[in-house]
């Protein structure tokens, strides 16, 4: 009876209600408009990297060992949450490379996206998933998760020299970089054959990039984390890619839309392919 009641309540509750209730309890997920990264940092509590690494590690160990289905932002889920367009992009890239996939996952945590998609990735003839992350994530990844298919590196250059990936994945990362456009230019130097962008925040209306602070509910990390985050002008960001890459496809991501004080923001993704010379 209780299960039936919960299902009925879920059906009758508009999707926006849980979001609103969460905001009322924990505060808005994004706030402010800041003139500089330093100013946004002063309004942030930080993200406690050591605590986050430990929580993600413990969650992913359960996923790897089959005791949990999926991890997302350190939270264990009882059902896998696929980014189907990203997965389709990965399999498309593999199909164009004789059923093999050698990729660089920039800012890929401890391999979250790899574990989410391994049911399908395991069907490939060859798979090598290389995560480029901060030193503490790399140390943890090498100690607990690295194997024949999952590798960890401290920088793009060392990964490219050793593994020669032809696919670059940038999922939910660009908005948290202090100087995202500089990092994009660094990535473009390597001429990856394909670039898959996922879970990236864009302003719906054409306006300049906006710098905000994102607030994370305490159920994720055990404390109220907050840190600077960008809302991008879509055309401005894509302009950094489209001189050298064709947009094969664009897609909405699993995160949906955000409305903040009249400002519409949407999570989007893109599949890019290097232009023929």
Rounded-to-integer distance, Cα 91 and Cα 121, Å: 8
Q: Looking at residue 185, what is its pLDDT?
A: 97
Which pLDDT score is estimated for 255?
A: 81
Q: What is the pLDDT of residue 71?
A: 85
DSSP 81: -
167/75: higher pLDDT:
167
Q: Given this model, what pLDDT does residue 76 score?
A: 84
| Rounded CA separation 270/194 (Å) | 10
Please check the confidence at residue 14 and state whether its pLDDT lies above 80: no
Q: Report the pLDDT value the prediction gives residue 2, as an integer from 0 to 100.
A: 40
Least confident of 35-39, 61-65, 90-94, 267-271: 61-65
pLDDT at 3 (0 to 100): 42
Q: Are strands 75-77 and 150-153 parallel, antiparallel or unpaired?
A: unpaired
pLDDT given for residue 261 in this prediction: 63
Give the dihedral sign, CA 28/29/35/38. positive
Q: What is the pLDDT of residue 195?
A: 98
pLDDT bracket for residue 221 (50, 70, 90) = low
Q: Is residue 149 pLDDT above 70, yes or no?
A: yes
Q: State pLDDT tens for residues 130-144.
A: 999 999 999 999 999
Query: How far, CA to CA in Å, does 28 sit from each of 10, 204, 275?
Result: 23, 19, 41
Q: Span 225-234, mean pLDDT?
A: 94
Q: Using DSSP, state whether 57 is helix, strand or coil.
A: helix
Q: Give tens-digit pLDDT for 63-120.
A: 998 888 888 877 888 888 899 999 999 999 999 999 999 999 999 999 999 999 999 9
pLDDT for 81: 84
What average pLDDT is seen over the chain? 87
Find out whether 132 and 108 touch, Cβ atoms under 8 Å.
Answer: yes
Q: List the one residue out of 100, 147, 104, 152 whose CA is nearest residue 121.
A: 100
Percent of the chain with pLDDT over 70: 86
In this structure, of 50-54, 83-87, 111-115, 175-179, the range with the lowest mean pLDDT score is 50-54
Per-residue pLDDT at 12 exceeds 60: no
pLDDT in tens, 250-260: 999 888 777 66
Model confidence at 28, pLDDT cuts 50, 70, 90, reads: low
CA 130 – CA 148 distance, rounded (Å): 11
User: How many Å apart are CA 158 and CA 168, to the nearest integer?
Assistant: 14
Res 9: pLDDT: 36
| Structural domains of the chain, with CATH | 35-274 (3.40.50.150)
């Amino acid at each position: 009876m209780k299960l039936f009641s919960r299902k009925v309540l879920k059906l009758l509750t508009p999707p926006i209600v849980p979001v609103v209730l969460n905001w009322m309890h924990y505060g808005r997920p994004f706030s402010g408009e800041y003139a500089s990264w330093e100013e946004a940092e002063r309004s942030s509590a930080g993200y406690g990297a050591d605590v986050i690494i430990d929580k993600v590690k413990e969650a992913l160990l359960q996923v790897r060992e089959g005791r949990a289905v999926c991890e997302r932002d350190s939270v264990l889920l009882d059902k896998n949450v696929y980014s189907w367009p990203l997965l389709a992009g990965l399999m498309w890239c593999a199909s164009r490379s004789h059923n093999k996939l050698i990729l660089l996952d920039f800012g890929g945590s401890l391999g979250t996206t790899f574990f989410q998609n391994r049911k399908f990735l395991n069907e490939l003839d060859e798979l090598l998933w290389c995560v480029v992350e901060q030193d503490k994530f790399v140390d943890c990844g090498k100690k607990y998760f690295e194997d024949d298919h999952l590798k960890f590196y401290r920088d793009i250059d060392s990964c490219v020299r050793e593994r020669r990936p032809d696919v670059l994945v940038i999922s939910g990362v660009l908005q948290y970089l202090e100087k995202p456009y500089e990092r994009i230019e660094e990535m473009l130097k390597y001429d990856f054959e394909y670039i898959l962008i996922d879970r990236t925040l864009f302003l719906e209306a054409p306006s300049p990039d906006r710098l905000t602070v994102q607030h994370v509910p305490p159920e994720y990390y055990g404390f109220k984390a907050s840190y600077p985050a960008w809302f991008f002008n879509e055309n401005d960001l894509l302009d950094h890619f489209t001189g050298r890459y064709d947009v094969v496809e664009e897609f909405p991501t699993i995160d949906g839309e955000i409305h903040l004080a009249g400002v519409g923001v949407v999570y989007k993704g893109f599949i890019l392919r290097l232009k023929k010379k």
